[in-house]
Amino acid sequence: MKISYDPPTGKPLGVTSWFRFGANVVRPFLNLIAKRDWRGAENLPKSGAAIAVCNHISHVDPLIFTHFLYNNGRAVRYLGKAAVFKVPVIGRVLLGAGQIPVERESANASDALQHAIAFLKAGHLLGVYPEGTLTRDQNYWPMKAKTGIARLAIISQVPVIPCAQWGAQKILPAYGKLPKLFPRTKVTVVAGKPLDFSKWYGKENDQAALEEATAFVMAAITNLLEEIRGERAPAEIFDPKKSNLPRIGNFKKGKR
């Protein structure tokens, strides 16, 4: 299927026939297993290019986050793990819905930035998980993220909306196989006010600036998650580069 970066149209903005088909299949299921607590929708731009960033705690949470954005008027675009696009039917729906496969941790991973910029230039809402994978923190707090989100925010200069979610890990724990369907689980998604990256504009090739800007966006996500959970995050942020855990894939495999 040909990749399209056409300007978003329809309602929700950016919807395609395949996106609508997927939504009509998935939303009733999510409504059956999850009780929604959605806040901050007024902070989501109703039109125009923007980036929505969020923490990543479960393989279910992209569906919940997309549900939140879709019901609030935006059909989000993602750069997703290429392996998912190879799954029969699911891959066809994702491609038809305008999502883009990316080979993570490969020589072609750098192409993701160009795809993201193309989406934003067309006026889409782009969904980004800055950590790049499920958090490795044992208590599901956000971990230290990659600098790709900072570079994208600096180059594009579009609004960046910090979001946090909680509850999906109770439906399906990280790398779990069987979801908990009943009783319904409360899932919370909160969108915060847009972040100001202007102090870093023009510094997309400055590694220190990228690290600083990345920490800035992750702090905003963590602050929202602290509000949801009613507790403080650890003072020391988990850094996957300083651990023996694999950077991607099931880090729990073989552990007891």
- So what's the pLDDT on residue 256? 37
Report the C-alpha gap between 96 and 4 in whole angstroms: 9
Quick one: pLDDT band at residue 177, thresholds 50, 70, 90?
Answer: confident
What predicted TM-score, i.e. pTM, was given to this entire model?
0.93
Q: Give the Å distances, CA to CA, from 65 to 140, 201, 220.
A: 16, 28, 17
Say what the pLDDT of residue 249 is: 57
Is the distance from CB of 49 to CB of 194 less than 8 angstroms? no
Which amino acid does the sequence have at 246? P
pLDDT confidence bin for 40, thresholds 50/70/90: very high
For residue 175, the model assigns a pLDDT of 86
8: preceding bond cis by omega (within 30 degrees):
no
Share of the chain above pLDDT 70, in %: 92
Question: Which pLDDT does position 254 carry in this prediction?
Answer: 44
Q: What is the DSSP string of 71-103?
A: HTTB--B-EEEHHHHTSTTHHHHHHHTT-EEE-
> Hey, what are 129's tokens?
């998980």
Displacement of CA 149 from its chain's centroid (Å)? 11
Q: Looking at this protein, which amino acid is placed at residue 122? A: A
User: What would the pLDDT profile of 139-167 be if each residue is shown by its tens digit?
Assistant: 999 999 999 999 999 999 999 999 999 99
pLDDT, position 83: 87
Beta pairing class for 50-53 and 160-166 = parallel
Give the DSSP per-residue string, 7-76: PP-TTTBT--HHHHHHHHHHHHHHHHHEEEEEE-GGGS-SSS-EEEE-----TTHHHHHHHHHHHTTB--
Q: Which of 201-205, 220-224, 243-247 shows the lowest per-residue confidence on average (mean pLDDT)?
A: 243-247
Amino acid at 230: G
Identify any residues that bridge with 17 across adjacent strands, giving them in sequence order. Answer: none
Under DSSP, is residue 186 helix (H, G, I), strand (E, B) or coil?
strand
Q: What does DSSP assign to residue 170?
A: H
Q: How confident is the model at residue 80 (pLDDT cuts 50, 70, 90)?
A: confident
pLDDT value, residue 103: 77
| 185 contact partners, CB below 8 Å, separation of at least 6 | 33, 34, 35, 167, 170, 171
Tokens of 99: 């999502």
Q: Tell me how far apart the alpha carbons of residues 11 and 48 are, in angstroms, rounded to a whole number.
A: 14
The structural domains of the chain, ordered by start, are 34-77+108-242 (3.40.1130.10)
